[in-house]
Structure 1
Amino acid sequence: MSAIAFVLSLIVIAIAAVYLYRKLNPQGVLLLAGLAMLILALLLHIQPVVPAKPTGSVVFDLIKVVEETFITNFSRAGMMIMVIGGYVAFMNHIEATNALVHISMKPLGFFRRYPYLAATIAIPIGQMLFITTPSAAGLGLLLVASVYPVLINLGVSKLTALSVIAAATLFDQGPGSANTALAAELVGNTNVEYFIIHQLPLVIPTTLVVMTLFYLNNRYFDIKDKKRQKNVSTTQPELETLKYNVPLIFAILPVLPLILLIIFSPYVGLFDPPITLGTTGSMIFSLFVSLVFVICRMRSIRKTIDTLSSFWKGMGNVFASIITLIVASEIFSKGLISLGFIDLLVSYSTHMGLSGIAIAVVFALIIFSAAMLMGSGNAAFFSFGPLLPGVAGQLSLPVYSLVLPLQLAASMGRAASPIAGIIVAIALVAGVSPIELAKRNTLPLIGSIIFLIVYYFFIS
């Protein structure tokens, strides 16, 4: 039965891949593929997904799973992503983004000659911010509002700018990460101990390799696209032609949410007792501050209120394009898990007769691929994670020697997935195909995961 389930999973994945390649609506393809696998799991009595509140009917239970997935995503990250999307649209509407670009270009004028160096430097800066804002999609959209327009005006393509923003979220690290929390629990450390003792020594050298590979990859493909006169993106106007009809003080507004998150971060420790401010709260507060700026400039309540329409439209666009795709992707992931696809991959790997380190390497590659397929580093690692202490015991390896590389491999695989929340969110807000962005990231990520495996298991 397990072999049949594995084959059926592969067939559904292949069919979904074909339809996605033919550019059918990705939400519909992933939702139907996920439901198909849930139904197959139910018919084969493998791991049927049961809603938190069963309806008493098998058919309606499946509908309830979709409903609960919508609710959980909306309450967990959906609202935050929509608010960020609305704020990005509002910043563009009031031309605060243009003011930010104008201000930023003066001190960054040096990088006009070396735009790919500037783009590459954004990776470690974004990674540090990711520790304080442990939401890949949330941070990605914040960087699209602040860093992205600056990089575009320095001369890189849209795909390059989005590529390095995605690379800033490669490693789910820091005490606030859900994956870190699970990994620390499995290893028997606190979140902070795990971050300092295990994560940092591996993340730092891997980040240097990531920066090098993304620099070479982005530069190569941008030059190649220009030579073929088939640019996958268009750059924004040069600084001299960029219009900004607002006071330059407006430049602070796109980066205000980031500033607030850093100031009120528990890791900065500026306040005693600490003040807690989440991403959604920082965006809403920044919106009200922006309205004060707008009303002082326009001197009209009516016109100020009218500008809010761009915020609501931005939220609606994000829901229609991003939230629905994240929900469909999660249903697809649930289908894979319900058919036992991930468990079977683990089982087949452990019966190949390989050495402990070889199996650990295979697991790292499998979880990297699973994250690409499922579009979620959390889903991939949470599927594998609980199995690792037992597997490590069977292989006579320390638990952390399996947990650490697999935890990082899961978040790396997410950045190469066209259905990952971070990729979908930043690509669609910037008007780029998520598939093109995932393709741009794939080569440097493959090189990075190979380095991580070789460095961790054979060098360090």
Structure 2
Amino acid sequence: MLITLGGIVVLVTIYLMVKQYETRLVLFCAGMVLALCAGQPMAPFLAFSHAMKENKLFESIVSVMGFAMVMKLTQCDQHLIRYLVRGLKRVGPLLIPASVLVTFFINTSITSSAGCSAAVGAILIPLMLASGIHPAIAAAAIYVATYGAILNPGYAQVALVAEVAKVSNMDVVSNHFVAMLVSILIGAVSLFVVAVLLKEHKGYVLPADKRIQDDDFKINPIKAVVPLIPLTLLILGSTGLVPPFKQLAISHAMIIGAFFGFLVTWTSPQKISKEFWHGAGDAFGHVFGIIICALVFVEGLKAVGVIQAITDLMVGTPAIAKISSAFGPFILGIMCGSGDAAAVAFNRAVTPEAVRFGLTAMDMGSTAAIAGALGRSMSPIAGGMIICSAFAGCSPLDAAKRNAPGMILACISVLVLLLYK
């Protein structure tokens, strides 16, 4: 009876998230309802308190978001974007896969999918439209690539997988590095093929009032390098190329990057400090808030026995465990427009039991995180998709449909590379 009730609550939760009710509110309330039905009213509160004490996870997330806000304030992110765009202007229809790969690379530093969509889309989408590329393809090309953040060691999903698997963040990134590259190459090529088949790779005529106007923005190569400094420091340290850097935590690298932002731009230190902590606050309220509420939801599912039932089913049929760890978060990402909520719930509830399915927590956790992001990248209700579609002047659904083939193939590739190796 309780398991049936849990299934109903899960369906209602998904429905409310599809209707774009506030994610944290939906997850928290669903967890409370489940716990009350199971006669364990304190379980959600204990989960809430436990999540608030996740110091290691908290440190990584807030520092990354703080650094991103500093890059936005100093406009170093704009210099990087425009520097990369400069080489794309004369590649014709190949601008489609090139834009996908450039956005993916930029997203490793500008980790917010909506933020990256806004920053990159404002520049690359008009460029694609002016090159004759259809608006729906232009919007799709940007948003399809906004999961490159999973290659950033400080990204919330990476930090969560590392915590569950009890390994370092760099270990997680190294483990899924190849799978990520293969998936984005599949996404880029698939979108280009779709554009060619639909004859949307050229021939679009941009209305006169929307044509690109050259501005006086002068690219500074030094400023363009600054957003990449923290990631570079972490890679040099983790690989042992520069042994002293091995002691750097993710938060340390982000603070060093923010300091370089000050040195290169001479922006007011007071403004930099305010923006850094503004970003840190946003990270706690939005990203960490989802993680906390997802854990409350998971505790509710545990209380009514849903998690144990799913675990037992997976133990009995390992093939289901592998497939569900990819396509469960993938489908929820499409339906909810958020890859984080689906992946966090899965990684909190199921991934700790990975060894019982003959898998490692790191492989299973990365699969869920990447699959959730891939699903979100073809969701017509995702915030970033709506932003990109607004820039392009097309329907979010039209752009999402063009991303669908590539994201499905990419999800399959991630599943094979991480769980069938």
TM-score, normalised relative to structure 1: 0.62
SS at 2:375's partner residue?
A: coil
CA distance in 2, matches of 1:201, 1:351: 30
8 A contact 1:9–1:336 mirrored in 2: no
Q: Deviations over 1:131-163 (max 9, x none)?
A: xx7xx8369968976x66663464266734542
- Name the residue aligned to 1:31: 24
CA distance in 2, matches of 1:414, 1:100: 22
8 A contact 2:99–2:124 mirrored in 1: yes
CA distance in 1, matches of 2:225, 2:105: 14
Task: Write out aligned runs for 1:107-126 (5 A).
Answer: 107-112=87-92, 114-122=94-102, 125=105
SS at 1:110's partner residue?
A: coil
CA distance in 2, matches of 1:385, 1:139: 24
- Name the residue aligned to 2:5: 4
State the AA in 2 paired with 1:166. T
8 A contact 2:104–2:148 mirrored in 1: yes
CA distance in 1, matches of 2:64, 2:386: 17
Cα distance change on mapping 1:141 and 1:353 into 2, 3 Å? closer
Match among 71, 75, 86 for residue 87 of structure 1: 71
CA distance in 2, matches of 1:194, 1:38: 29
- Name the residue aligned to 2:132: none
CA distance in 2, matches of 1:69, 1:218: 48
How far is 1:399 from its partner? Answer: 3.0
Identity %: 13
CA distance in 1, matches of 2:279, 2:419: 45
8 A contact 1:329–1:375 mirrored in 2: no
1:383 aligns with 2:349: yes
Task: Write out aligned runs for 1:405-444 (5 A).
Answer: 407-417=366-376, 436=396, 439=400, 443-444=405-406
- Name the residue aligned to 1:336: 297
8 A contact 2:230–2:254 mirrored in 1: no
CA distance in 1, matches of 2:277, 2:305: 38
Cα distance change on mapping 1:7 and 1:264 into 2, 3 Å? closer
How far is 1:116 from its partner? Answer: 0.6
8 A contact 1:86–1:313 mirrored in 2: yes
Aligned-residue CA RMSD (Å) = 5.5
Cα distance change on mapping 1:179 and 1:38 into 2, 3 Å? closer
CA distance in 2, matches of 1:125, 1:152: 16
1:159 aligns with 2:139: yes
Q: Which has the larger radius of gyration?
A: 1
State the AA in 2 paired with 1:285. F
CA distance in 1, matches of 2:413, 2:183: 7
Task: Write out aligned runs for 1:366-377 (5 A).
Answer: 366-369=328-331, 375-376=339-340, 377=343
Q: Deviations over 1:71-103 (max 9, x none)?
A: 9986542353144134314318xxx836962x5
- Name the residue aligned to 1:290: 264
1:97 aligns with 2:78: yes
- The number of residue pairs the alignment matches comes to 394
- Name the residue aligned to 1:50: 45
SS at 1:244's partner residue?
A: coil
CA distance in 2, matches of 1:193, 1:91: 31
CA distance in 1, matches of 2:217, 2:349: 51
Task: Write out aligned runs for 1:256-271 (5 A).
Answer: 256-259=226-229, 261-263=231-233, 265=235, 266-267=237-238, 269-271=240-242
SS at 2:188's partner residue?
A: helix
- Name the residue aligned to 1:211: 188
Task: Write out aligned runs for 1:135-214 (5 A).
Answer: 137=111, 151-152=124-125, 154-155=127-128, 159-160=139-140, 162-169=142-149, 177-178=158-159, 181=162, 199=176, 205-214=182-191
CA distance in 1, matches of 2:178, 2:275: 44
SS at 1:166's partner residue?
A: coil
Q: Deviations over 1:168-203 (max 9, x none)?
A: 2467899x9446646866xxx99888877x756755
Match among 232, 235, 244 for residue 273 of structure 1: 244
8 A contact 1:416–1:439 mirrored in 2: no
CA distance in 1, matches of 2:178, 2:84: 33
CA distance in 1, matches of 2:189, 2:256: 33
Q: Deviations over 1:290-320 (max 9, x none)?
A: 333xxxxxxxxxxx65x97699579759966
How far is 1:258 from its partner? Answer: 0.3
- Name the residue aligned to 1:300: none
8 A contact 1:16–1:33 mirrored in 2: yes
State the AA in 1 paired with 2:31. L
Cα distance change on mapping 1:37 and 1:316 into 2, 3 Å? same
CA distance in 1, matches of 2:230, 2:169: 24
CA distance in 2, matches of 1:216, 1:343: 45
Task: Write out aligned runs for 1:208-247 (5 A).
Answer: 208-216=185-193, 223=200, 238=212, 241-244=213-216
State the AA in 1 paired with 2:359. V
CA distance in 2, matches of 1:220, 1:323: 44
SS at 1:137's partner residue?
A: coil
Unaligned runs of 5+ in 2: 130-134
Cα distance change on mapping 1:343 and 1:429 into 2, 3 Å? farther
TM-score, normalised relative to structure 2: 0.67
How far is 1:337 from its partner? Answer: 0.7
Cα distance change on mapping 1:169 and 1:426 into 2, 3 Å? farther
Unaligned runs of 5+ in 1: 21-25, 53-61, 293-303, 393-397
Match among 290, 309, 315 for residue 347 of structure 1: 309
State the AA in 2 paired with 1:210. G
- Name the residue aligned to 1:252: 222
CA distance in 2, matches of 1:426, 1:111: 25
